[in-house]
Chains A and B, each alone.
Chain A
Amino acid sequence: MTEATENSPIVVIKNVSKSFLEGDNCRPVLSNINAHFKRGGFHAVIGRSGSGKSTLLNLIAGIDLPDSGSVQINESAINKISENERTLLRRNTMGIIFQFFNLIPSLTVQENVRLPLDLVGIDNQQERVTNILELVGLKDRRNDYPEVLSGGEQQRVAIARAVVHEPKLLLADEPTGNLDYDTASQVLEVLRDVVQQRTLILVTHSREIASHADEIWPLRYGSFDSPESES
């Protein structure tokens, strides 16, 4: 993997199509989409429920693979490398905030947050974990299990877990989708705080949320309109 140049896009999506088998018929979700996300900044993908946002995010994360086309992260096509390399790429360069949090129920809050550090092999874990939990305001709850936390708190743990290892690319899937307005604003604040030096790709159905982004990609009927620049 060659080191990407400073102003090349961090994520490039070329002619990507993805469909799912549902019983006997094939259901196209994304058809021949193209996009590129610049390094740094806050990008929002906006689309209705069921438009394929989560699917797209999964493709970017390398959790799923496109049927055709290519997804490039730092100029290397992640659908061309091995599963193992993909996983390594994901754990080293990305942080993911899932739509349904995906906290590990058998790990406490701080253990959940420590997990990525453990995987990447970073020492000095405790300090980082404490700092990040402080940042998301959950230091007191670090020894609790996720199931006793409220939705907003769980989401904040998920954010802490996604950024603790300081990934270059942060992917967020409706991070505020399950939250009330006030909590959503808080979570968004936190996100803004942690994102600074990184690239954030956030998918959402809400224009309101998307309006905070530097760039908005509207996803309609499985393909992109051209991006709208905000600000």
Chain B
Amino acid sequence: MKIIFLSWFREILRRPTLTILSIVGVALGIATVVAVDIANESAKRSFLAANETISGSTTHRFTGRITDELYRHLRVDLGLDVTPVVEGLIESDRSNTTQLRLYGVDLLAEISASSNYAWREVSIESAATLLSNPFTVLATRDTANSLGWSVGQEIPVSSADGDFKLTLIGLLEPANPLQAQSLRFVLLTDIATAQSVLGKQGYLSVIHALFDDSVQINSIEAFLPDGVYIESQIGQSDSQAALTRAFQINLTALGLLAFMVAMFLIYNTTSFTITRRQRHIGMIRALGALQRDIVLCALLEVLIIGAIATIIGILVGIQLSTFLLELVEQSIATLYFPIFADITVLSFVTIVKAIMLGIGATILLALPAIRKISSTAPSIAIGRSQVETQSTDSGSKLFVIGCSLAVLGTLVLLGNQHSIVLGFFGIFLVVIGYLQLIPLMTEGLKRLLRPIVKRIFGVQGVLAIRAFSSRPGQTSTTIAVLCLALSATVGVDIMVSSFRQTVDEWLISRLRGDIYITTPSQSDSGLASVDVELLENLEGIASFGLAKWAEIPDASGTTTVFAVDYGENAFNGFQFKKKADVDLWREFNAGAAIVSEPYAYRNSIQIGDTVDLFIGRKSVQFPIIGVFFDYSSDQGIVAIHRDTYIRHFNDRTISSAAIFAKPETDLQTIADTIEQRVLTPRARVWRNQELHDASMQIFDQTFAITYVLRTLAIIVAFVAVLSALATLQIERERELVVLRTIGFTVRQNWSIASFETGVMGLLAGIFSLPAGILMAWLLIWVIEQRSFGWTMKMQLDPLILIGAVTLSVVAALIAGAIVTWRKVRKVPAMALQGMD
């Protein structure tokens, strides 16, 4: 027994490349899964941390137009445990502009409050200094350092309300790294300072409250003035977490994809690892080794490979996750919340997942190969005809299996309309089903190719495609691995490019104005009235329209309302998915609402339903006359006429303006003029094209991670192909050597080997197209439609398809070259001798 183990493991050392490839392959698969897991978890933690530190653990919060007076009443008169916040974004103009979050809190209230805030640690002295000196702030050391700010120093900042100078009077000491992260770029100050800097004198952004059961929420609600709302914070983090959904779904989708490729890869790698032992196993079996011995050795080998790969995979995965997070940091921060690439959370669950994949799945997936090889009669293994340990199953059997898997997948897809994971599982089944057909298709194509190849390339060509007959199983599995990764690429690429195209067209249709002025969404005051007057008097302007973005409370939270008055032409820029059979523009003017597709999807809206929004405690209904395509928010938006909005909500503030120039005026000149004269702080002037491009840029940032992950899938597949080819090549080695001895030149050997791998690449590329298109279609249907409620037109960009086939051929050729380059050269005599 001892010697059997010895010979088994010396065999590994004899051909270390294959083992290393197996380890690399499995490790890469695990790394991807781990990286995605960590990125996902870290994003969630960052979000929660940001949320937790800022708002503390509270039960309720008051929002809306909260006055100082209301706060005083709640705290002093009613003696409730409440803490106020005035917050907003400001910019530091030091070196390069940095966005900072100014946080005004009532420090004395905070210190006595039972909730747990970061600034509980703030000393009474610094609290007192903060209170007695206006325009002083506290910040973490990190923040101060990155601003190049030292205690006692003044720095200039600007807000929507003007320019100010703030003095750093002390440092915040965060209790833990997580807190440090969420306090990054936060300036802590007192309520009064925050109110002056942010231009919110007399008003508070939010009041956090920690109520126990004795507090009667109903009675509090009863005396709240109009425009102030109280919401329960319990369960709130769920709905807030919905913000991260888009990000997480994307990541999870790709994580599952990586998982799928990893599983397939592991299956192949382990099968190959076992298969290449065939001769060795035959010999020791003939000498009297039992099946049990073989199984034991094989299991041990796979276990070792799995264990090493798991460790490497976890380590690489951690590195990779940092990279992924840095990549998404920008887009997520712009779109949702600050994300902290350095909070990498390697959770226990992730480690368990990695181990289950690396060791559990590896062993499980190796079992069929182990079973087959250990039960093969030794004579076959040592004889001239080699066993096929892979898919010796007949084509028709595979066809049946493939079709059943596809049908099962379809049923899963149809059966559950909401679960994303099940959706992916369905896609997985369908694609795996498709992959079962590859041996059949390879066989068919081979028959088709053979006469052609023979005519063109002669015996050499026949030699090259002979590989397909001598080892059809392994050849087609190699093709299948490559095909799987490629179809994933094609699928994701088509999905993203279709999405991009759809968004692009939507932007073009929607952005009808020649020039736009936008204000930061954080600023309450919006576009100053002087600037509206400016537009009225400017040369070259045919007309302009105004719009307001508002968050209005509804029965379950808030609704984003786009109150727009850009005119009839711009209204025609809305593209409707469904609409009432009325004059839309007239009804819209008269007070009807149109809703975006995700809104309709989320709320199961039909034409003729109403949108219910709250004004104080009474609700207003807006009849819905149309559902329009919109990709700006996955939460959905409701558009009403600005006049309707003003009528109900009595809010004349302006978020943005669209300007329509007179024909044949120079847009740049108008834009420049507006830019120079506009007085609203931080208002931005955009030419149509600029706004369009900026939006597309955000889009591209959001999907940057997608591209990275799918590139990763390709790399994983490449390694898989490499190891598959290396295994196939062991057998070809002898043949190539023999060919050299009978007079083939190195070049001829090269061309035979490359031809073979090239054809494999070509087939994989071709087979990946239908699978990729299918996958894209399913992705669009499952992910975008189900999770976001977005309709996308699938666009088949021929470049993607050609690219995939090219990539496939090139990858296969490179992999082939890597495994062959030494072999084709081998001096015949030497090689023949060293042959076992």
What distance in Å separates the Cβ of B379 from its nearest Cβ neighbour in chain A?
4
- State the B residues within 8 Å of A (CB): 1-4, 6-8, 10-11, 13-14, 280, 283-292, 375, 377-380, 382, 833-834, 836
Which one, A61, A65, A84, A98, contacts B290 given CB within 8 A? A84
B288–A105 touching, CB < 8 Å: no
The answer to whether A107 touches B286, judged by C-beta atoms less than 8 angstroms apart, is no
Q: Is the CB of A63 within 8 A of B834?
A: no
A115 within 8 A of B: yes
Whether B285 pairs with A87 at a CB distance below 8 angstroms is: yes
Segment at the interface with B among A2-10, A88-96, A177-185, A205-213 = A88-96
A-B residue pair count with CB separations less than 8 angstroms = 84
Report how far A88 CA is from B291 CA in the complex, Å: 11
In the bound complex, do residue A106 and residue B287 qualify as a contact, i.e. CB atoms below 8 Å apart? Answer: no
* A68 within 8 Å of B (CB atoms): no
Contact across chains for A102 and B286 when beta carbons are under 8 A apart: yes
9 residue pairs A–B, Cβ–Cβ below 8 Å: A64-B378, A83-B375, A84-B290, A84-B291, A87-B289, A91-B287, A102-B283, A102-B287, A147-B834
Known: A102-B382, A147-B836. 19 other contacts (CB 8 A): A63-B286, A63-B379, A64-B377, A64-B379, A83-B375, A84-B290, A84-B292, A87-B285, A87-B288, A88-B290, A104-B7, A104-B283, A106-B280, A111-B6, A118-B1, A119-B4, A119-B287, A120-B288, A147-B834
- For residue A43, CB closer than 8 A to chain B, the reply is no
Q: Which residue of B lies closest to A146 (CB)?
A: B836
A116 to B287 CA separation, bound complex (whole angstroms): 7
Provide the bound-state CA to CA distance between A152 and B7, in Å: 23
Q: A96-B287, A98-B382, A104-B283 are in contact. Are A118 and B3 (CB under 8 A)?
A: yes
Within 8 A of B (CB), among A65-97: 65, 83-84, 87-88, 90-92, 96
Q: Are B11 and A87 in contact (CB under 8 A)?
A: no
Chain B residues whose C-beta falls within 8 Å of the C-beta of A115 in the assembled complex: 3-4, 7, 284, 287
Residues of A within 8 A of B6 (CB): 106-107, 111
The smallest C-beta distance from B298 to any residue of chain A, in angstroms, reads: 15
The answer to whether A107 and B288 have CB atoms under 8 Å apart is no
- Tell me whether A106 and B10 are in contact in the complex, defined as CB-CB below 8 angstroms, given that A87-B291, A88-B290, A115-B4 are known contacts: yes
CB distance from B138 to the nearest CB of A (A): 69
B836 shortest CB reach to chain A, Å: 4
**CB pair B378 A63 closer than 8 Å:** yes
By a beta-carbon cutoff of 8 Å, the part of chain A in contact with chain B is: 58, 61, 63-65, 83-84, 87-88, 90-92, 96, 98, 102, 104-107, 111, 114-116, 118-120, 146-147, 161
Q: Which residues of A sit under 8 angstroms from B283, Cβ to Cβ?
A: 102, 104
What is the chain A residue whose CB lies nearest that of B288?
A: A91
Known: A84-B291, A87-B291, A106-B11. A96 touches B3 (CB 8 A): no
How far apart sit A91 and B375, CA to CA, in the bound complex (Å)? 17
Q: Output the least CB separation between B291 and chain A (Å).
A: 7
Measured CA separation A106–B9 after assembly (Å) = 8
Q: Report Cα–Cα, A63/B288, bound state, in Å.
A: 9
Distance between A151 CB and nearest chain B CB, rounded to angstroms: 10
Q: Which of B14, B280, B288, B834 is close to A90, meaning CB atoms less than 8 Å apart?
A: B288
Q: Which residues on B sit within 8 Å (CB–CB) of A88?
A: 288, 290
- Would A107 and B10 count as touching, CB distance under 8 A? yes
**Residues of B contacting A111 with CB < 8 Å?**
3, 6-7
Which A residues are in CB contact (< 8 Å) with B379? 58, 63-64
A39 to B836, CA, bound (A): 34
Q: How far is the CB of B729 from chain A (nearest CB, A)?
A: 18
A63 to B285 alpha-carbon distance, docked (Å)? 8
- Measured between alpha carbons, how far is A146 from B836 in the docked complex, in Å? 9
A residues in contact with B382, CB < 8 Å: 63, 98, 102
Query: Which A residue sits closest to B380, measured CB to CB?
Result: A64
CB distance from A194 to the nearest CB of B (A): 17
Tell me if B3 and A83 are in contact (CB < 8 A): no
Rounded to whole angstroms, the CA-CA distance of A64 and B11 in the bound complex is 25
User: With A and B bound together, what is the CA distance between A114 and B6 in angstroms?
Assistant: 12
Contacts of A102 in B (CB 8 A): 283, 286-287, 382
Give Cα A106–Cα B288 distance, bound, in whole angstroms: 17
Smallest CB gap from A118: residue in B: B3
Chain A nearest CB from B272 CB (Å) reads 18
Residue of B nearest to A87 (CB): B290
Which of the listed residues A90, A106, A147 has the most CB atoms from chain B within 10 Å of its own CB? Answer: A106
Report B829 CB to chain A, min CB distance, Å. 13
Please give me the residue from chain A that is nearest to B835 by CB atom.
A147
Decide: B377 and A65 in contact? CB cutoff 8 A. yes
Residues of B close to A120: CB separation below 8 A: 288
Contact B4 A106 (CB under 8 A): no
